[in-house]
């Protein structure tokens, strides 16, 4: 698969995707969204990939927003279709992948960029990162899940303020409000996400995918998260990973999970 807007690296169970449009500060356009979808779908189906890292090329931006030039003249119907298609192809898609996805925010994460980071399972940021949803300054609102995920992560009041003011917050503010899990110097970002990925890879891939499904269920309309947890908890008992994990514990040795 030829990649024009992203760079893919895969080493020792970790797949790293770099969004690579430096001349546009890695802004998302339709082609990049489609490319990310296709690549993530391929990676999620690869049993050798245990963790996915999503980041931006260079040191300035994770993703500095959506490519406004593509939709500046859209009608109301076209705008709604843009949001629906984007959510389906990328943002909801990332959130529901069975492989854990970590956003490594290495600079500006604005608009669609912050929405993409929020769709990942958790986030780390370099200390120079700036985050925000500036859409109201353009006469529109976040359309890739931002109004929902930001409120889930930082609370309704803070989300309202960020969206209404269209302002940016620092990495430290993002950490303080729970938007990101860790803030590190930019030079340490790579080592930090590698360390986190290695910790994740010691655990059962099957159990992790069930945990993702269960946590997500609590935020879906009409779904009882507790019921999902009961079901997925039970499903774990039928896996080889459960047998290996419990046997290794009783034998006082490290488990060797196969993801089955």
Instruction: Give CA–CA dist 111/239, Å, rounded.
Output: 40
Q: For the chain, give percent helix, strand, coil, nearest 5.
A: 50, 15, 35
Q: Alpha carbon of 75 to those of 71, 79, 80: distances in Å?
A: 9, 6, 9
Residue 135 among the catalytic residues: yes
- Contact between 207 and 241 under an 8 Å Cβ cutoff? The reply is yes
The 8-class DSSP code of residue 237 comes to T
Catalytic residue (choose from 9, 11, 135, 256):
135
- Contact between 17 and 55 under an 8 Å Cβ cutoff? The reply is yes
Instruction: Give CA–CA dist 241/218, Å, rounded.
Output: 25
φ, ψ for residue 51 (rounded to 5)? -145, 140
Catalytic residue (choose from 78, 115, 244, 251):
115
Residues in the chain: 260
Instruction: Give CA–CA dist 160/223, Å, rounded.
Output: 25
Edge-to-edge strand list for the sheet holding 61-63: 61-63, 108-110, 130-132, 168-170
Give the containing element (helix H, strand E) for 19. Answer: strand 14-19
Among candidate residues 223, 222, 256, 221, the one with its CA nearest the CA of residue 241: 256
Active site residues: 115, 135
């Amino acid at each position: 698969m030829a990649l024009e807007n992203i760079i893919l690296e895969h080493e020792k169970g970790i797949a790293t995707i770099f969004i690579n449009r430096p001349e546009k500060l890695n802004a998302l356009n339709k082609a990049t969204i489609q490319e990310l979808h296709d690549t993530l779908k391929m990676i999620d189906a690869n049993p050798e990939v245990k963790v996915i890292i999503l980041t931006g090329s260079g040191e300035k931006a994770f993703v500095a927003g959506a490519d406004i030039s593509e939709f500046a003249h859209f009608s109301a119907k076209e705008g709604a279709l843009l949001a629906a298609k984007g959510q389906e192809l990328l943002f909801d898609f990332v959130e529901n992948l069975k492989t854990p996805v970590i956003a490594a925010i290495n600079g500006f994460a604005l608009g669609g960029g912050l929405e993409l980071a929020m769709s990942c399972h958790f986030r780390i940021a370099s200390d120079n990162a700036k985050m925000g949803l500036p859409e109201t300054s353009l006469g529109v609102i976040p359309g890739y899940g931002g109004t929902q995920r930001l409120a889930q992560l930082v609370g309704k009041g803070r989300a309202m303020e960020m969206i209404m003011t269209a302002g940016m917050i620092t990495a430290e503010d993002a950490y303080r409000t729970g938007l990101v899990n860790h803030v590190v110097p930019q030079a340490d970002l790579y080592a930090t996400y590698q360390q986190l990925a290695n910790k994740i890879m010691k655990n059962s891939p099957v159990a992790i995918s069930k945990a993702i499904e269960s946590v997500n269920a609590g935020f879906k309309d009409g779904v009882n998260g507790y019921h999902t947890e009961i079901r997925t908890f039970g499903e774990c008992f039928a896996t080889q990973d459960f047998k290996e994990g419990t046997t290794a514990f009783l034998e006082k040795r490290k488990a060797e999970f196969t993801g089955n």
